[in-house]
Amino acid sequence: MKWSKYNFSWSQDETFFHYNSIYNTILITEKELQMPFETEIQAQLEENGFLLADEIQEESVAKQKIEEKLHSSDTLSCWIFVTNDCNLACPYCFEKDSLSNSRPEYMDKEMCERTVIWLTAKARELNVKKIHVTLTGGEPLMNVPAMEMIAALLRKTELIVTMNVITNGVLLDRTIAKQLYQHNISSYQITIDGPSKIHDARRQYKDGSGTFSTILNNILKIRQWNNQICFVIRINVDQQNYKEIIKLLTLLKKLQLEKFLAICMNDTITDGMPHPDVLSEIVKIISQAQADGFNIAFGELNNCWMMSEYWYMVNVNGDIYKCPSLVGRKQYCVGNVESKKLTSQYQEQMNLAPWESCMNCNLVGLCCGGCPYRCILNSTQSGHKKVCRKDYLEALLKIKYKELENKMGS
Ligand code: SF4
Ligand code: SF4
């Protein structure tokens, strides 16, 4: 038997953790694992992919498992961009250029219908019964009628539907939240980039005034009305704000919001490059947030779904894309809801595979070669360049499983 090359092992506070990225399995032990293993441990190690027969070609198994992960799902996921208009003018907005180059558009009834027809046909083609729709924009709450229409149309299909909304949170008052709740929409992702001074310098109305207090009041009022509404607070972290994030978390805890919210932290994508100083700060902040009792959404511990046929974005004009960061960039468009066929660009994006060098990385089953969008941003004349954030992923895994161990122990 041999130890899988896709294992990642570490110890912390006299506990030993073993993670296998291909099978996404974790084994937590009080003693260090040493060969020869006790029979029971050996069986567990084999069953969970940590140990395998000497003759097995691991790389081919890994490639096959990654393929299976991307190409088998019981759920079709789609982001629908119901408008490209936005009520804010945030200086760092990644959609700003595409928005300022195009006139504001709002999905109308006809486009909502076409989008739902395309989605139901896609679900049938893939033989799935579940669909998860993320409503976004621009600012989706600038087009509530389209959100309601899409929800109503999907309800008439045979599909099991779940929905969430990515919003800047400014228009999400209790009235709107109640209205959308009637359509089973009860999950929101809102960005807050720091305490008020920092957030207001980054997330502004068009007249330059800040949005912090409006967003926080909206969340507090919604919680008073219905604590079943889920909020994920996304925090975009970079050199400008990382020192201040703890102040935001302290405030949220003071308001007793730590159990009501989940926190999701990302490094702001600017040039595609990983910034180790920012990433190590994020790790420290997440660790602190977890110790303070916040729920952490470990979104970064997921592979990119661009290469999956179960994952799409539909833009306001019906154009289809494979990555939210590429929406509106015509050269990456893979089709339109009015046409049954996807273009050759679709096949090109679907054919993206982990870099060959990644197949020797013990985290390839988790990371699958990283984010292709970051690689595009990081390209040179000789082509796209790999962007590897392995240290960061390792640190996140350690935090995630430390929490699991704490929960198991309590
Ligand atoms: S990008 Fe880095 S962490 Fe991801 S699979 Fe490749 S080598 Fe591993
Ligand atoms: S390419 Fe990057 S930004 Fe786009 S879907 Fe994949 S992980 Fe997300």
Residue 360: its pLDDT value, please?
94
Residue 385: its pLDDT value, please?
80
Residue 331: its pLDDT value, please?
93
User: Ligand 2 atom 8: the closest Cα is on which residue?
Assistant: 304
Structural domain count of the chain: 2
Residue 167 and residue 258 share a domain = yes
Residue 79 and residue 214 share a domain = yes
CB 305 within 8 A of CB 77: yes
Residue 184 and residue 84 share a domain = yes
Residue 263 and residue 120 share a domain = yes
- Residue 408 domain-assigned (yes or no): no
Residue 25 and residue 81 share a domain = no
CB 396 within 8 A of CB 298: yes
- Residue 395 domain-assigned (yes or no): no
Atom from ligand 2 closest to the CA of residue 374 = 2
Residue 275: CATH number of its domain: 3.20.20.70
pLDDT digits (tens, 9 = 90+) for 59-115: 999 999 999 999 999 999 999 999 999 999 887 675 555 555 578 999 999 999 999
Q: 190: number of CA atoms within 13 Å, CB side?
A: 26
Give CA–CA dist 222/261, Å, rounded. 12
User: Ligand 1 atom 3: the closest Cα is on which residue?
Assistant: 390
- Residue 17 domain-assigned (yes or no): yes
Among 5, 22, 59, 363, name the best residue to mutate to test ligand 1's pocket (greatest count of ligand atoms within 8 A of Cβ): 363
Report residues of the chain scoring pLDDT below 70: 92, 94-101, 272, 410
Residue 88 and residue 32 share a domain = no
For residue 385 and ligand 1, the question of a CB distance below 6 A is answered with no
Atom from ligand 2 closest to the CA of residue 370 = 7
The pTM is what? 0.93
Residue 386: its pLDDT value, please?
84
CA trace torsion 54, 57, 58, 60 (10° rounding): -170
Residue 99 and residue 29 share a domain = no
- Residue 111 domain-assigned (yes or no): yes
Query: How would you classify the pairing of strands 335-336 and 319-321?
Result: antiparallel
Q: Which domain holds residue 189?
A: 75-348
Residue 51 and residue 85 share a domain = no
Residue 95: its pLDDT value, please?
58
User: Ligand 2 atom 5: the closest Cα is on which residue?
Assistant: 323
For residue 369 and ligand 1, the question of a CB distance below 6 A is answered with yes
Whole-number Å distance, alpha carbon 341 to ligand 1 midpoint, is 33
pLDDT digits (tens, 9 = 90+) for 146-182: 999 999 999 999 999 999 999 999 999 999 999 999 9
Percentage of the chain exceeding pLDDT 70: 97
In this structure, the chain runs to a length of 410
280 burial level (CB within 10 Å; 0-12, 13-18, 19+): middle
Q: Give the ligand whose atoms come closest to the C-alpha of residue 332.
A: 2
